[in-house]
């Protein structure tokens, strides 16, 4: 709510400021000539004037990396298409956080850094073609990367990319992503990565990706834990999220700075491996806490919730040490009013380190069909009620070192 209010104020202020059309700066929009310099000139003019709107009209605008300044709205017309240049030289190498650690990477197609009141709205954004999306050392250009931005708005546009993240949000505060249609294919094709951000609203988005549709993270290893920049206060609502390879919503594996206070509401989820995946490993430390889901529909996924805190993810270059401290602390997971259809395992939650059990796991009012039901290990303060699924084989609940309520009568109450 705070993010949406702040963005609304920012948009109202922007409406009183001037506008620039990229055609007036020499952009062609023919899909052949590179319009990088013309679009950047318009963006710079806008920033120098203290903000306003840069308008990209109908057409095919081929461009390399662009930088958006404070108080700027980049407005694409409904039939405007921004096409990422296929030339890697058009994306300068800068310092980025990639897979949880800082390293060299090519700057995004659309980039903003430490800028307040940035808005990107309308039109379609297409990532540069392969092989740019396959680059790993240094990382190739993502589509949109906002770093250290406040009161940002991403609204009403479509993206298409392959084998690399579409939208990476790092160290942002009070950000809204609304009415986005995001498509990616192949591994590493995340839709929306929320990385050490505070106050994020994601609503009415349709994301179908080759990796996690939404990934919540905060860096990996001791440096990220010491930096203490959690991803927190996130609301994901009224979205349709699907992954053709991994999870609809992934927590981790890079989460050493912590992830907390996340609400998932009124969403339809489908994952190739998991609808919701809570994942980490030794050497991460950090925490994941106060994560809730309500009024969710889970379609044709191997699991509704998969939990693997033992072996997921690349080890950090500076892992957190200590027999207990090396493991993530996970507590207060709560899900209610869930409908599942053609799910293989309702809950697959056995990969939890006995040295650091999950503290607080609540499931209530779960219905639908699954092949197998609930498997849990190393948890305390578990509360199961109204688990009324059908079609499964074996026991409704199997446990190892699990304590709480409703374990013997999960369908009760």
Tell me what pLDDT residue 14 has: 47
Domain with CATH 2.160.20.10 in the chain: 1-164, 212-413
Q: Distance between CA atoms of 20 and 78, rounded to whole angstroms?
A: 17
Has residue 391 got a pLDDT over 60?
Answer: yes
DSSP state for residue 38 in the 8-state scheme: H
Tell me what pLDDT residue 18 has: 93
pLDDT bucket at 7, cuts 50 / 70 / 90? very low
Backbone angle region of 71, left / alpha / beta, with phi > 0 → left and psi within -120 to 50 → alpha: left
Read out DSSP for 41-61?
HHHHHHHHTT-EEEEE-SEEE
CB 166 within 8 A of CB 184: yes
Tell me what pLDDT residue 8 has: 47
Has residue 12 got a pLDDT over 70?
Answer: no
- Is the bond preceding 138 in cis, omega lying within 30 degrees of 0? yes
List, for residues 173-209, the tens digit of each pLDDT value. Answer: 999 999 999 999 888 899 999 999 999 999 999 999 9
List, for residues 141-158, the tens digit of each pLDDT value. Answer: 999 999 999 999 999 999
Closest CA to 212 of 154, 166, 178, 172: 166
For the segment 19-44, the average pLDDT, to the nearest whole number, is 98
Has residue 217 got a pLDDT over 70?
Answer: yes
For the segment 339-347, the average pLDDT, to the nearest whole number, is 95
Those residues whose C-beta lies under 8 Å from the C-beta of residue 255, and which sit 6 or more positions away, are 216, 217, 218, 219, 220, 231, 280, 284, 286, 287, 288, 328
Return the CATH number of the domain spanning residue range 212-413.
2.160.20.10
Instruction: Kindly indicate whether the domain formed by 1-164 is annotated with CATH number 3.60.20.10.
Output: no
Tell me what pLDDT residue 61 has: 98
Burial class (CB in 10 A: 0-12, 13-18, 19+), 354: exposed
Closest CA to 214 of 251, 253, 163, 265: 251
CB 216 within 8 A of CB 250: yes
pLDDT bucket at 15, cuts 50 / 70 / 90? low
List, for residues 235-288, the tens digit of each pLDDT value. Answer: 999 999 999 889 999 999 999 999 999 999 999 999 888 999 999 999 999 999
Prediction pTM value: 0.95
Has residue 4 got a pLDDT over 80?
Answer: no
Tell me what pLDDT residue 122 has: 98
- Report in angstroms the alpha-carbon separations of 320 from 254, 278, 307, 315, 327: 12, 19, 20, 10, 8
Tell me what pLDDT residue 17 has: 78
Those residues whose C-beta lies under 8 Å from the C-beta of residue 289, and which sit 6 or more positions away, are 258, 259, 260, 261, 329, 330, 331, 332
Tell me what pLDDT residue 412 has: 85
CB 219 within 8 A of CB 254: yes
Tell me what pLDDT residue 9 has: 44
pLDDT bucket at 78, cuts 50 / 70 / 90? very high
Tell me what pLDDT residue 6 has: 46
Closest CA to 3 of 96, 110, 119, 112: 119
Go through the chain and tell me how many residues it has: 413
Element at 403 (helix H, strand E) = strand 397-405
Tell me what pLDDT residue 10 has: 44
């Amino acid at each position: 709510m705070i993010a949406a209010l702040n963005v609304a104020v920012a948009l109202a202020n922007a409406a009183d400021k001037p506008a620039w059309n990229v055609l007036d700066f020499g952009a062609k929009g023919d899909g052949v000539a590179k319009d990088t310099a013309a679009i950047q000139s318009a963006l710079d003019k806008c920033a120098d004037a203290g903000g306003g709107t840069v308008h990209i009209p109908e057409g095919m605008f081929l461009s390399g990396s662009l930088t958006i300044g404070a108080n700027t709205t980049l407005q694409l017309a409904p039939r405007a298409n921004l096409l990422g240049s296929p030339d890697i030289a058009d994306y300068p190498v800068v310092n980025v956080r990639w897979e949880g650690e800082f390293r060299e990477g090519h700057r995004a197609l659309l980039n903003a850094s430490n800028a307040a009141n940035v808005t990107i709205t309308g039109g379609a954004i297409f990532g540069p073609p392969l092989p740019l999306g396959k680059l790993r050392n240094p990382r190739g250009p993502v589509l949109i990367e906002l770093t250290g931005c406040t009161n940002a708005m991403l609204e009403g546009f479509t993206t298409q990319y392959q084998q690399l993240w579409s939208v990476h949000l790092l160290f942002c505060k009070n950000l809204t992503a609304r009415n986005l249609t995001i498509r990616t294919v192949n591994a590493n094709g995340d839709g929306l990565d929320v990385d050490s951000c505070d106050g994020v609203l994601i609503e009415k988005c349709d994301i179908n990706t080759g990796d996690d549709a939404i990934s919540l993270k905060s860096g990996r290893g001791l440096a990220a834990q010491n930096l203490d920049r959690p991803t927190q206060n996130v609301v994901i609502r009224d979205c349709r999220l699907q992954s053709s390879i991994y999870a609809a919503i992934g927590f981790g594996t890079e989460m050493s700075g912590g992830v907390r206070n996340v609400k998932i509401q009124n969403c339809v989820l489908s994952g190739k491996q998991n609808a919701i995946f809570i994942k980490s490993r030794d050497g991460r430390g950090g925490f994941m806490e106060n994560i809730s889901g309500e009024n969710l529909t889970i379609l044709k996924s191997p699991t509704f919730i998969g939990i693997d805190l033992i072996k997921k993810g690349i080890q950090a270059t500076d892992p957190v040490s200590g027999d207990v401290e090396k493991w993530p602390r996970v507590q207060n997971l709560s899900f209610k009013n869930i409908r599942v259809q053609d799910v293989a395992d309702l809950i697959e939650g056995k990969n939890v380190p006995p040295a650091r059990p999950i503290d607080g796991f609540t499931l209530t009012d779960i219905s639908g069909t699954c092949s197998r039901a609930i498997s849990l290990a190393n948890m305390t303060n578990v509360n199961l009620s109204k688990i009324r699924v059908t079609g499964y084989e074996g026991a409704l609940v199997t446990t190892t070192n699990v304590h709480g309520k409703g374990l013997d009568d999960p369908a009760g109450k």
